[in-house]
Chains A and B, each alone.
Chain A
Amino acid sequence: MILPSAYFQASIPADRAVFRCKNDIITYCQYRQHTEQLAHVLAQTKAQTVALMTENNYFFAVALMAALHAGLNIILPGNICSATAQKLQEEGAIVVSDLALTGAIPIRGHQDVGHSLPAFSPSSAHLWFYTSGSSGEPKRIHRTFANLEEELRLLQGILPEGEEAEVFCTSFFHYAYGIIYGLLLPLSRGILSDTTSYVSPVDFLARIDELTPPQTLAWIVTTPSFIRVWAANADICKLRSRPLRIQCAGAPLPIEAAAHIQRETDATFVEIYGSSETGLIAHRNPLATQEWTPFREVTLTPSADGGMRIDSPCIPPGEHAYPGDNAQLLPNGNFLLLPRADNVVKIADKRISLYEIEQRLETSEFVEQAAVLKQERKKRSILTAVAVPTPAGMELLRQQGGQAYRKALIGHLTRYLPAVLIPKKWRFIGNMPTNSRGKTDTATLHRLFDTKDYLPVLTTLDATPECIIAKALYLKDSPWVTGHFPEHPITPGVLILLSLSMLTKQYWGAGICCIQRIKFNNPVVPGDEVYLILRRRGERLDVLLSRTPDGSTPACKGVCRLAS
């Protein structure tokens, strides 16, 4: 194992392929040169703290190592927007970015000055991460680089030595998960890492198949949301003939999806339990056991509130971590995870775990995945639920509409829960929204309840910065539809535009502000499923509704404008 803090002192061949950037290979020599150039510029600034705000994973790899070698404290902000950059600069940090942020130091384009890269002390290198905020406000977390190297050391203990492999990480490198698995782990094992960012899980599979030699282990580092999409995608079969390891973290793994992928591909699964706050805690093969095995040197102690305290070399000395989950410690040293302690809410004086309700819902034949939220309705706390239907659930929605589906789910829950704990409001979506770290995007879920009436059931098939393709099922009993030509019901244009706007807001952060032209070629009947194909060119948005995913059977075509 090569320690990343001594990476540039190790004897590594100059032409060793280190990163793949789209279709190009970055060699060790090039990586070293880019890092040296930036480290020299950073050392000249005399600053103490640098914020790394990068969009491109390779540039992040350069910026991180340059900042470490320049002896700077490192902030990894939770977002890369200009307001955050300005705030950090006002607080005295310099900003390094591959974006056009005012006052930021660019990553490339610096002079070659032959700046050397001596080893740095990992215990004196401080980093501040921000959590995703999936369960509340983002938290700032302090780690030293030595803590991250400890994570690598623990990981080495469970991984085979000397593998010929390429790592494909779906997480951005500037998150703790991405740094460890996308960047530092491949560097420490001398294996290639793909730095391309993937918004679309489907493109990702095609790329692995195209780029990696068939005998090379494709080591996919990902999150449950990607696994769900792959399981539903027939192309996973393409990876059948190659060695494949799928490593997953961030949220509970969907076991049925993982089992399906394993049947189709013979992949091995490694599930990691840990977080930005705690570092690595435990691992398991999720298809073989429910028990988690703690990493060597990680100690779990039950805490008074039923949770657990973590002592580990992955967190700064003298500090403890509390992962917020309840665990049942087993006599063999392993443990079982119980619902999150902070996921327990009180409704009408009854305590209930939202996780438990979600689990109950997911036992229904009509629910693939569920999220239950606590919201305020007038001065009262109520539970609301978002359900992703199974194919049977989708059929029920198509044939009978939202009310019948909701009643079926309420009927199912009533077998287990008292009436006050049954969700009062329901939304149905084709896939659970996730953030860039693959965690359920709770803010988007809450926003679904901003509009009162039944919305179309949207399933995103692909979302990139340029294009969104989604399937929409317009429900028969939506109040938008009822009374609209009762004898010959059609989906009103306003509802179609609302569904387009929901997608652009979710993926591009901008709604539709103006319709330049729109033509309805043939009516969309409630109960129909249609494909929404949105292509963006700056603020111009080309819209196509089609009965087929290739756009060849248009129902509506138009040009709109996105809000800036």
Chain B
Amino acid sequence: MRDVTLLRAMTDSTENLICELQKLVVETLDLEDISPEEIGADTPLFSDNGLGLDSIDAMELGVALKRRYKITITAETENVDQHFSTLASLAAFIRSQAN
């Protein structure tokens, strides 16, 4: 049986899912100096020109995604770098897990 949160993520609009992810990133990583809405859908998460997150942040984010959407995303996941590159790609990955 699919998780309710994941089902909602599937049926909700991409815009709403990204909005949820914005909050998740800021809360999980306790980011200061940036509000959720300031993280654009295409803001690079791990580049110095974007949020500048590091590998430990990626792990923490992976755990938070698993808790929230019951999806598993680890270093072994195929194209993991690409999935984590922006919120838009992360949203696409979450939706793909529901298919």
Complexed CA–CA distance, A411 and B35 (Å): 20
A419 lies within 8 A of B46 (CB): yes
User: Which chain B residues lie closer than 8 Å to A425 at the CB level?
Assistant: 32
A419 lies within 8 A of B33 (CB): no
User: Which chain B residues lie closer than 8 Å to A403 at the CB level?
Assistant: 33-34
User: Which chain B residues lie closer than 8 Å to A420 at the CB level?
Assistant: 54-56
How many residues of B are in contact with the other chain, CB < 8 A? 13
User: Interface residues of A: mostly helix, strand, loop or mixed?
Assistant: mixed
User: Which chain A residues lie closer than 8 Å to B54 at the CB level?
Assistant: 348, 418-420, 422
**What are the interface flags for B56-73 relative to A under an 8 Å C-beta threshold, 1 for contact and 0 otherwise?**
100010000000000000
Complexed CA–CA distance, A410 and B50 (Å): 11
User: Which chain A residues lie closer than 8 Å to B32 at the CB level?
Assistant: 424-426, 452-453
The verdict on A479 contacting chain B, using a C-beta distance below 8 Å, is yes
Within the complex, which residue of A377, A410, A479 is in contact with B48, where a contact is CB–CB below 8 Å?
A: A410
The verdict on A557 contacting chain B, using a C-beta distance below 8 Å, is no
Complexed CA–CA distance, A377 and B34 (Å): 17
B30 lies within 8 A of A378 (CB): yes
A402 lies within 8 A of B56 (CB): no
The minimal Cβ–Cβ distance linking B50 to chain A, given in whole angstroms, is 11
B30 lies within 8 A of A419 (CB): no
B35 lies within 8 A of A479 (CB): yes
* Residues 15-33 of B at the A interface (beta carbon under 8 Å): 30, 32-33
User: Interface residues of B: mostly helix, strand, loop or mixed?
Assistant: loop
Chain B, Cβ-Cβ closest to A405: B33
Most central of B48, B53, B60 by chain A CB within 10 Å? B48
User: Which chain B residues lie closer than 8 Å to A422 at the CB level?
Assistant: 52, 54
The verdict on A454 contacting chain B, using a C-beta distance below 8 Å, is yes
B33 lies within 8 A of A454 (CB): yes
A380 lies within 8 A of B52 (CB): no
Complexed CA–CA distance, A419 and B46 (Å): 9
User: Which chain B residues lie closer than 8 Å to A452 at the CB level?
Assistant: 32
The verdict on A406 contacting chain B, using a C-beta distance below 8 Å, is yes
Chain A, Cβ-Cβ closest to B31: A424
The minimal Cβ–Cβ distance linking A509 to chain B, given in whole angstroms, is 27
Chain B, Cβ-Cβ closest to A415: B48
User: Which chain B residues lie closer than 8 Å to A380 at the CB level?
Assistant: 56, 60
* Residues 108-133 of A at the B interface (beta carbon under 8 Å): none
User: Which chain B residues lie closer than 8 Å to A299 at the CB level?
Assistant: none
User: Which chain B residues lie closer than 8 Å to A548 at the CB level?
Assistant: none
Chain A, Cβ-Cβ closest to B32: A425
Chain B, Cβ-Cβ closest to A377: B30
B48 lies within 8 A of A411 (CB): yes
Within the complex, which residue of A348, A378, A419, A453 is in contact with B52, where a contact is CB–CB below 8 Å?
A: A419
A419 lies within 8 A of B35 (CB): no
Complexed CA–CA distance, A402 and B33 (Å): 8
Complexed CA–CA distance, A411 and B30 (Å): 20
User: Which chain B residues lie closer than 8 Å to A414 at the CB level?
Assistant: 48, 52
The minimal Cβ–Cβ distance linking A432 to chain B, given in whole angstroms, is 21
The minimal Cβ–Cβ distance linking A482 to chain B, given in whole angstroms, is 9
The minimal Cβ–Cβ distance linking B51 to chain A, given in whole angstroms, is 10
Chain B, Cβ-Cβ closest to A410: B52
Q: Evaluate whether A348 and B56 lie within 8 angstroms (CB atoms) in the complex, with A410-B48, A414-B48 already known.
A: yes
- B residues sitting closer than 8 Å to A (CB atoms) are 30, 32-35, 46, 48, 52-56, 60
In the assembled complex, 8 residue pairs joining A and B whose CB atoms fall closer than 8 Å, in A order, are: A348-B54, A378-B30, A410-B52, A419-B53, A420-B55, A420-B56, A422-B52, A452-B32
